Structure 1
Amino acid sequence: MTRRIAGHAVLALLSLACLFPIYWLYATSLRAPGDVYDLSPLPWPLSIDSYTDALAKNDVLGMLANTATVALLTAAGQLLVGLLAAYAFAGWRFPFQRLLYLAFVGTWLVPFQATMLPNYALLARLGLLETLAGVIVPNLCSALGVLLLREHLMSFPKDLLDAARMDGRSSWSALWTVVVPSLRPVLAALGILLFITAWNEYFWPAMVLQRSNSVIQLGLRSFMGTEGNDWGPLMATAGLACLPVFALYLVLQRHIVNAFVRSGLK
């Protein structure tokens, strides 16, 4: 009993340590402009001047919409490609299957710095620089998604697929009517992971959208300067950037918990 209480106490302290930066972000954004550097734990008096200032200086809502578009399309593309590739690797048998799978997953080990210049040159030829499509297209495939989904599909009951084929369903129909409904928790957990990764991406959008602040990550840098940072609007914009991720997690929370529970069942 004592060990259990001690374990819960440690987890509570770790949770507070993880939550404190988020709390301080919103606490700073709600301070009056003259109190931004105040170290008191509770912001008082409360003020929304930082938010109104951020909205006045930048099209924050437009940048959030663009960022959501990029993150949603990137995550959806990676989920679709990962699902189809994992279904082929797990359910079919073809020559050089293992070698192709290892080569596919091996792309995950290639650092981004080795592929960014070829991708940039290709986007320049296609005329996709300074566009959101240029940010999305090179990221429509994720080796991580293929790896995780294949491992789940390898443990998928083959009897269900055989029964679906005996009912006259094609492989394509069996995928969407039998496999995908059973993988909803896994797809939800992987989807939010891919969405957050695409949402937080900074370096690649900064390369493609060099002269544009069309996504929220690049909009944050407009509050940073050589003479100092405008901390109030910066924290307010960062706080607004966190809200869609929080909302997505709340919507998919049940599926994510189910994915972790099922991952421990054999």
Structure 2
Amino acid sequence: MTISQDFSTTRLDVSRQTTVRRTISVGSIAVHGTMILLVVIAIFPVYWMVASSLKPENEIFSTTLWPLSPSLENYSFVLTQIPMLRMLANTTIVSAATAAFQVLTGLLAAYALVRWRFRFSGLVYGVIALSWLVPFQVTMIPNYVLASRLGLLDTLTGLVVPHAAAAFAVLMLYHAMKSFPTEVIEAARMDGASHLRILWEIVVPNMRASLASLVILAFISAWNEYFWPLLLSRSIENSVVQIGLQMFMTQEGNLWGPLMAASTLASLPILVIYLILQRQVIESFMKSGLR
């Protein structure tokens, strides 16, 4: 091979590498540009909510990205017109209790379905899976009649009990528990450990990721619940924050400033949870898909 041929081959290789680098660079710019655009689209409504909550009444419909004269009047109006802090406390209690009960009932049901072999276990699992497809609005009226007969109207207990067991929790923990090594459980059984001891001392510590995912999803779902509290609540003191937001939307018109302030206060606990547990929140949505 001559020197000229070597030189031509080298130039061709350099040209190919340059083309590949340019293609990678253009593709990387397109991907990052798309991601930045999606981030802006996702964050801008939250930013606009906070900015609108700081606008006085005469600026509420202005298109400025930030209020010319920021004010906390809307927050003061919300805190004086409705017991917002009490509603936030009620919502926190209901959401935490609902998440705790769903984890407990889901653990017990999933362990029983995985470890105890009995007739029609597949049918039981199928019924639980089918019940997940039934929206809560279908069973809302029967639940209301039952809550009325049990004296649970206008109580926080009545808001928690219908959601204490969830098919989603059972299915999610069932698949996580099914992948748990059976040899470990059998060894514990041979050592004389009971099922409850195996569950709490062996299985649960090794399922922290799945349990954290379920807690986060259950808490957020209970926090955003609206129809059941609307049907069950009678007094504003025993209501939740989603009902409080509705009070600023009337037939005469919406109080947009106070509504944005109340929405900001209602979103604040969820945003704090996300900032603290953002990795677990992301993993929870990735792991919530049933295999």
Instruction: Note the C-alpha offset of 1:225.
Output: 1.4
Q: How far apart, CA to CA, are the structure 1 residues paired with 2:280 and 2:189?
A: 28
Confirm or deny that 1:106 pairs with 2:130. yes
Structure 2 match to 1:224: 249
Instruction: Note the C-alpha offset of 1:83.
Output: 1.3
Aligned-partner residue type, residue 48 of structure 2: W
Instruction: Note the C-alpha offset of 1:135.
Output: 1.2
Instruction: Note the C-alpha offset of 1:82.
Output: 0.9
Aligned-partner residue type, residue 68 of structure 1: T
Conserved 8 A contact 1:30-1:47: yes
Q: How far apart, CA to CA, are the structure 1 residues paired with 2:147 and 2:287?
A: 41
Q: How far apart, CA to CA, are the structure 2 residues paired with 1:230 and 1:131?
A: 28
Conserved 8 A contact 2:224-2:242: yes
Structure 2 match to 1:5: 29
Q: How far apart, CA to CA, are the structure 2 residues paired with 1:224 and 1:23?
A: 21
- Bigger drift between 59-68 and 157-166 goes to 157-166
Q: How far apart, CA to CA, are the structure 1 residues paired with 2:121 and 2:92?
A: 36
Given the alignment, which residue of 93, 96, 117 partners 1:72?
96
Structure 2 match to 1:45: 69
Structure 2 match to 1:251: 276
Confirm or deny that 1:147 pairs with 2:171. yes
Q: Cα gap change, 1:142/1:49 in structure 2, threshold over 3 Å: closer, same or farther?
A: same
Aligned-partner residue type, residue 108 of structure 1: W
Structure 2 match to 1:122: 146
Q: How far apart, CA to CA, are the structure 2 residues paired with 1:257 and 1:221?
A: 30
Q: How far apart, CA to CA, are the structure 2 residues paired with 1:21 and 1:257?
A: 20
Percent identity of equivalent pairs = 48
Conserved 8 A contact 1:50-1:232: yes
**Which SS does the other structure have where 2:183 is aligned?**
helix
Confirm or deny that 1:57 pairs with 2:97. no
**Which SS does the other structure have where 1:224 is aligned?**
coil
Given the alignment, which residue of 119, 131, 141 partners 1:95?
119
Look at both structures and tell me which one has the larger radius of gyration over its CA atoms: 2
Q: How far apart, CA to CA, are the structure 1 residues paired with 2:81 and 2:35?
A: 41
- Bigger drift between 21-30 and 108-117 goes to 108-117
Aligned-partner residue type, residue 200 of structure 2: W
Q: How far apart, CA to CA, are the structure 2 residues paired with 1:259 and 1:70?
A: 21
Conserved 8 A contact 1:51-1:236: yes
Conserved 8 A contact 1:186-1:256: no
Q: Cα gap change, 1:262/1:142 in structure 2, threshold over 3 Å: closer, same or farther?
A: closer
Q: How far apart, CA to CA, are the structure 2 residues paired with 1:158 and 1:252?
A: 31
For residues 65-95 of structure 1, give each alpha carbon's deviation from its aligned partner in whole angstroms, at most 9, with x where no partner exists.
Answer: 0011111111111111111111111222111
Instruction: Note the C-alpha offset of 1:54.
Output: 0.7
Conserved 8 A contact 1:29-1:50: yes
- Bigger drift between 156-165 and 60-69 goes to 156-165
Q: How many residues matched?
A: 265
Aligned-partner residue type, residue 263 of structure 2: A
Q: How far apart, CA to CA, are the structure 2 residues paired with 1:109 and 1:221?
A: 28
Aligned-partner residue type, residue 237 of structure 1: A
Q: Unpaired segments of 5 or more residues in structure 2?
A: 1-23
Q: Cα gap change, 1:261/1:181 in structure 2, threshold over 3 Å: closer, same or farther?
A: farther
Instruction: Note the C-alpha offset of 1:145.
Output: 0.9
Structure 2 match to 1:35: 59
**Which SS does the other structure have where 1:228 is aligned?**
coil
Q: Cα gap change, 1:134/1:263 in structure 2, threshold over 3 Å: closer, same or farther?
A: closer
Structure 2 match to 1:238: 263
Q: Cα gap change, 1:160/1:252 in structure 2, threshold over 3 Å: closer, same or farther?
A: farther
Q: Cα gap change, 1:3/1:92 in structure 2, threshold over 3 Å: closer, same or farther?
A: farther
Q: How far apart, CA to CA, are the structure 2 residues paired with 1:121 and 1:18?
A: 40
TM-score w.r.t. length of structure 1:
0.92
